[in-house]
Amino acid sequence: MPAIFEYRHQVTADEIDGVGHVNNIEYLRWMQQAAVAHSTAQGWPSKAYHELGQGWVVRSHFIEYLVPAFSGDEIVVRTWVADMKRVTSMRRYELLRMADGKQLATASTNWAFVKFATLQPCRVPAEVLQAFELVPDANSRECGPIRAKLPDP
């Protein structure tokens, strides 16, 4: 499985806001869907985390909106794990419009690994760590935008 995962989505009319472009909350929804799809592809679907009794919760999101998306646009959300520490992980995203390759947004999510019963942080298990190849981004600041162009997967 490539370290950079691609999640594709076609924008629907119900994702459009009063200004005529995609509502900002939809980008966050696509990011979540891409993260779950990536984890599932790496052998960690939601069910596996629930069986473990532990999993990821969001600590923070950062999104920089660059170009709007519109109804009918086919987009791709590229996502990767930039780092994974004892109890946290930084996931990065690049959202692109397929028709013209325009970068719509860049984003990051800071995740914490917790015990579901208590919501207390716990160490990321080795089997979870080993499931994800890291794509470090030395030039980015924590929860900040990415500036480097990523290679094609």
Report pLDDT for 114.
99
Task: List pLDDT tens digits, range 6-64.
Answer: 999 999 999 999 999 999 999 999 999 999 999 999 999 999 999 999 999 999 999 99
pTM: predicted TM-score of the whole model, two decimal places: 0.88
CATH superfamily for 5-129 is Hotdog Thioesterase (3.10.129.10)
Structure tokens at 16: 């459009």
pLDDT tens per residue, range 104-150: 999 999 999 999 999 999 999 999 999 999 999 754 444 444 444 45
Say yes or no to pLDDT of 1 above 70. Answer: no
